[in-house]
Amino acid sequence: MMEVERPITVGDFAPRVGKTFAVPVRGHRLEMRLDAAQELPGSSRIGGGFRLEFIGPLDPVLAQGIFPFEIARDRYEIFVVPIARDQSCTRYEAVFF
């Protein structure tokens, strides 16, 4: 697994919309599907601003925090916040601005 150490960009994620990331949490591996990768204009952040939206299982609900998101050979440390929940899933958002 290769930890991505440069500033990440929307370009790292846009091709992966619809793909599933593994998120190791407390001895389990949750599956989180990337549902959206949206550019956020006007950011002075190196690499530009963007937001990600993930769909995870109904339970367990992750508290806001930094978690490792793994896909293929890449690993990203991402701060996510739960933003919505319905009968079948929990949605999470990450904002890079």
**In-domain check, residue 7:** no
Q: Quick check: pTM over 0.75?
A: yes
> Do strands 65-71 and 49-57 pair parallel, antiparallel, or not at all (unpaired)?
unpaired
Q: Give CA–CA dist 29/26, Å, rounded.
A: 8
Q: Which residue has the tokens 């990450």?
A: 94
Range of 90's domain? 16-96
**In-domain check, residue 27:** yes
Contact 10, 50 (CB under 8 A): yes
**In-domain check, residue 5:** no
Local mean pLDDT, 10-residue blocks, the chain (97 residues): 80 98 94 98 94 97 97 96 98 98
What stretches of the chain show up as alpha helix (H) in DSSP? 10-13
Q: What is the pLDDT of residue 3?
A: 67
Tally the domains of the chain: 1
